[in-house]
Structure 1
Amino acid sequence: MKKSNLWSLRLGFSGKESDKIEKLGLEKFLKHSYESKFDTQLPVFLEDDPKTLIELKELRESIKTADSEAKKKLLKREVYSAIEFKKWWISKIRNDEFPLRENMVCFWHNHFVSTSQKVKVNYWVYQHNMILREHAFGNFKQLTKQILKSNAMVKYLDNGDNKKGKINENLSRELLELFTVGIGNYTESDIKEGAKALAGLNVGDDGAVYRKFAEDNSDKTYFGKTGNWKADDLVDIIFEQKNIPYLITRKILKWFVYDKPPENLVVYYGDYFRKVKFEIEPLLTKIFTEEYAKDTSGTKIKDPLVYILQLIDELQMKTVDDAMIVYFLKQQGMDLYNQINVKGWDGGNSWLTSQIYLQRNNTSDLLCSGRSITKKVIKTMAGDTEKPKSKFEKIEVKIAFDSDGNNKTIITELSDRLLFKVNDSIQKDMEKLLKYDFDPKEAHANFAVIRLFNYITKLPEYQLI
Structure 2
Amino acid sequence: MDQNVLWSLRLGFTNKEASKITQNGLTFFLENSFMASVDSTIPSFLENSPKTRVELQQQREFYKNATKEQKQEKQKKERQTSEEMKTWWIDKMTVSEFPLREKMTCFWHNHYVSTFPKVKVNFWIFQHNQILRKNAFGNFKTLTKEIVKSNAMVRYLDNTDNRKDKLNENLSRELLELFTLGIGNYSEQDIKNGAKGLAGLGLGEESAVYRSKFEDNESFIYFGKKGSFKIDEMIDIIFEQPNIPYLVTRKILKWFIYDNPKEELVRYYGDYLRKKNFEIKPLLVKIFTEEFAKKNGGSKIKSPLEYILQLMNELNIENPNERLITKFLKDQGMDLFNQPNVKGWDGGNSWLTSQVFLQRNNVADLLCNGKNLTRGNKQNVENSMMTQNPNRQFTVRLDWDKDGNNKEIIAELENRLLFKTDATDRQDFEQLLKYDFDSKTEGSENAVLRLFNFMVKTPEFQLI
In the alignment, does 2:399 pair up with 1:400? yes
In the alignment, does 2:408 pair up with 1:409? yes
Residues 286-328 of structure 1: CA distance to partner in whole angstroms, max 9, x if unpaired? 0000000000100000000000001100001013111000000
- CA 1:227 to 1:212, structure 2 compared with 1: closer, same or farther past 3 Å? same
TM-score calculated relative to the size of structure 1 = 0.96
The aligned counterpart of 1:25 is: 25
In the alignment, does 2:43 pair up with 1:46? no
Tell me if structure 2 keeps the 8 A contact 1:108–1:136: yes
Distance 1:441 1:61 in 2: 69
TM-score calculated relative to the size of structure 2 = 0.96
Could you tell me how far 1:444 is from its partner in structure 2? Answer: 2.0
Tell me if structure 2 keeps the 8 A contact 1:328–1:378: no
Tell me if structure 1 keeps the 8 A contact 2:105–2:133: yes
For 1:460, the aligned partner's letter is P
Identity of aligned residues (%): 60
The aligned counterpart of 1:459 is: 458
Could you tell me how far 1:48 is from its partner in structure 2? Answer: 1.5
Q: What SS does the aligned partner of 1:15 have? A: coil
Q: What SS does the aligned partner of 1:226 have? A: strand
Could you tell me how far 1:259 is from its partner in structure 2? Answer: 0.2
Could you tell me how far 1:66 is from its partner in structure 2? Answer: 2.4
Residues 245-300 of structure 1: CA distance to partner in whole angstroms, max 9, x if unpaired? 00000000000000000110000000000000000000000000000000010000
Q: What SS does the aligned partner of 1:319 have? A: coil
Q: What SS does the aligned partner of 1:335 have? A: coil
Residues 418-440 of structure 1: CA distance to partner in whole angstroms, max 9, x if unpaired? 11110111110000000111111
1:368-447 aligned within 5 A: 368-374=368-374, 377=377, 392-447=391-446
1:144-155 aligned within 5 A: 144-155=144-155
Could you tell me how far 1:38 is from its partner in structure 2? Answer: 1.9
The aligned counterpart of 2:385 is: none
Aligned positions, number: 455
- CA 1:418 to 1:203, structure 2 compared with 1: closer, same or farther past 3 Å? same
The aligned counterpart of 1:310 is: 310
For 1:246, the aligned partner's letter is Y
1:152-231 aligned within 5 A: 152-231=152-231
For 2:275, the aligned partner's letter is K
Could you tell me how far 1:70 is from its partner in structure 2? Answer: 3.5
Q: What SS does the aligned partner of 1:244 have? A: coil
In the alignment, does 2:268 pair up with 1:268? yes
| Alignment RMSD (CA, Å) | 1.4
The aligned counterpart of 1:319 is: 319
The aligned counterpart of 1:123 is: 123
Consecutive unaligned residues in structure 2, runs of 5 or more: 380-388
Could you tell me how far 1:377 is from its partner in structure 2? Answer: 4.4
Could you tell me how far 1:375 is from its partner in structure 2? Answer: 7.1
Distance 2:264 2:82 in 1: 42
Tell me if structure 2 keeps the 8 A contact 1:327–1:375: no
Distance 1:257 1:108 in 2: 16
Distance 1:456 1:72 in 2: 46
The aligned counterpart of 1:386 is: none
For 1:37, the aligned partner's letter is S
Could you tell me how far 1:356 is from its partner in structure 2? Answer: 0.3
In the alignment, does 2:245 pair up with 1:245? yes
Could you tell me how far 1:374 is from its partner in structure 2? Answer: 2.8
The aligned counterpart of 2:383 is: none
For 1:48, the aligned partner's letter is N
Distance 2:378 2:420 in 1: 30
Could you tell me how far 1:441 is from its partner in structure 2? Answer: 2.3
Tell me if structure 2 keeps the 8 A contact 1:324–1:375: no
Tell me if structure 2 keeps the 8 A contact 1:45–1:81: yes
For 2:67, the aligned partner's letter is D
For 1:407, the aligned partner's letter is N
Q: What SS does the aligned partner of 1:179 have? A: helix
Could you tell me how far 1:41 is from its partner in structure 2? Answer: 0.5
